[in-house]
Amino acid sequence: MDTLKFYIDGAWVEPAAQSVLDVENPATEEVVGRISLGSSPDVDRAVAAARRAFATFSLASVEERLGCLRRIIEGFRARLPDLARAMTLEMGAPITFATERQATVALFHFEEAARVLAGYRFEERMGQGVVRREPIGVCGLITPWNWPLNQVASKVAPALAAGCTVVLKPSEIAPLSAMLLAEIIHEASLPPGVFNLVNGDGPTVGEAIAAHPGIDMVSFTGSTAAGVRVAKLAADTIKRVAQELGGKSANIILDDADLRPAVIQGVQACYTNAGQNCQSPTRLLIPRAGRDAAIEAAREAVAAIRLGDPLDLATTMGPLVSRAQFEKVQDLIRSGIDDGATLVAGGLGQPVTLNRGYYVLPTVFADVHPRMRIAREEIFGPVLSIMSYETEEEAVDLANDTPFGLAGFVQSRSAERARAIANRLRAGRVYINGAAFDRSLPFGGYKQSGNGREFGVFGLEEYLEVKAILGS
């Protein structure tokens, strides 16, 4: 799966300089493809193409933009199995999960962008004038490896719907699915320069995009530390910055909930995508009296997990994405043990049945205190911390005692009690009683989890400027 060219101005082009990076399958530690690493001249070329295209694409009618999205959707559906397999190979998601969640949810974003665009009012009378919403311009999109295609789609789809042009830098760790999407977009016959893709690493291509004076907006998903760097680089040109960053979400199980199924559901939610999920409920808050029952339920949930080859349909959890991520998670598990948390399941090392790949034992700690590293740092692996509380007030305080604020979870038999708790959580999205994902509702964080919102109408409006026209 060697993809050594970049997609710029409607064509596949050679990079300005030759620098090749291997793409590794984290399940086998074998090379499955190669990409070129770009440089500032590649970004300059992509931005110039996007600026030329913006002059006309920004004026395209709603029907023209809908036509672009519909052709992408058609091509995406036709190649969904290829996209899913690419993500399994590049970042280790089990093939069933890659098909039903990773690829399908990415498709949802294009479908949702088309739905919102078809009914959106870009101009309306207000007071003595007219308010117009216009595309912001050239958008630099920087996306991560954990949901590689989902995060690309959640940015590209609304940007195109708004009439913007884009320069995309997918993660160099998991770039193969984005390259397939670029092929789909090429076959959809968008005007040259509307969509551009330059591979590369963060310090080179990512920073060139963030600082580029020809880019009007940067949308970034990744770590909080990298988000700070992007914002600082963007500040000199006063460009808009939208960020979806880290998380340390709390899952509050109230004392009236059915504890066993609530804990099992909480463990499963924490381990989604092998725990490499920014909104994972990694802190499970349970009434102190339910400690022992919660531990037993957590052990039961862990026992049901099937680690193995991601291409095997029976596998429910694959490896972490890389050796670096594996070592980071091992270090945090070790800190939990050293800090005195009770190891309930899992722990250090790899499964004895798997002699290669970056597999981590699904791990649960109990008796976790708020100052422990495992309670405060985003682990990004299958590690759950069980914390106990006495009162609802203490539960809310524990949940909010974090620099992050991406998501929260509440479980209770009383919808009224759950809603009251949800209202008090300092988080951008709260799930009550295992509520399902909704692509139309806004997604984004409070505090150090970022700013701006994605999905639905809110996602579209991130890529629009507001203009007031007064008089006649």
Which has the closest alpha carbon to 7: 40, 37, 46? 46
Q: How far apart are CA 432 and CA 153, in angstroms?
A: 26
Active site residues: 244, 278
Alpha-carbon distances, residue 187 vs 73, 85, 182 (angstroms): 11, 20, 9
411 in Cβ contact with 260 (< 8 Å):
no
Alpha-carbon distances, residue 371 vs 46, 48, 374, 402, 404 (angstroms): 46, 49, 8, 10, 15
Phi, psi values for residue 370, rounded to 5°: -60, -25
Neighbours of 453 (CB within 10 A): 20
Q: Starting at the earlier edge strand, list the strands of the sheet with 342-345.
A: 342-345, 363-366, 383-389, 283-287, 250-253, 407-411, 429-432
For 88, residues 6+ apart whose C-beta sits below 8 A from its C-beta are: 94, 95, 98, 310, 311, 318
Q: How far apart are CA 267 and CA 364, in angstroms?
A: 9
Q: How far apart are CA 464 and CA 105, in angstroms?
A: 24
Alpha-carbon distances, residue 179 vs 2, 24, 35, 111, 380 (angstroms): 10, 16, 10, 20, 25
Helix (H, G, I), strand (E, B) or coil at 276: coil
Strands 138-142 and 129-135: unpaired
Q: How far apart are CA 63 and CA 231, in angstroms?
A: 34
Q: What is the pLDDT along the chain (472 residues), one digit of tens a residue?
A: 889 999 999 999 999 999 999 999 999 999 999 999 999 999 999 999 999 999 999 999 999 999 999 999 999 999 999 999 999 999 999 999 999 999 999 999 999 999 999 999 999 999 999 999 999 999 999 999 999 999 999 999 999 999 999 999 999 999 999 999 999 999 999 999 999 999 999 999 999 999 999 999 999 999 999 999 999 999 999 999 999 999 999 999 999 999 999 999 999 999 999 999 999 999 999 999 999 999 999 999 999 999 999 999 999 999 999 999 999 999 999 999 999 999 999 999 999 999 899 999 999 999 999 999 999 999 999 999 999 999 999 999 999 999 999 999 999 999 999 999 999 999 999 999 999 989 899 999 999 999 999 999 999 999 999 999 999 7
Phi, psi values for residue 105, rounded to 5°: -65, -35
Neighbours of 423 (CB within 10 A): 9
DSSP β-bridge partners for residue 301: none
Q: How far apart are CA 462 and CA 455, in angstroms?
A: 10
Q: Which domains, from first to last, does the chain contain?
A: 6-245+447-470 (3.40.605.10), 250-432 (3.40.309.10)
Which has the closest alpha carbon to 247: 409, 436, 463, 456? 409
Q: What is the pLDDT of residue 303?
A: 97
Q: How far apart are CA 321 and CA 359, in angstroms?
A: 9
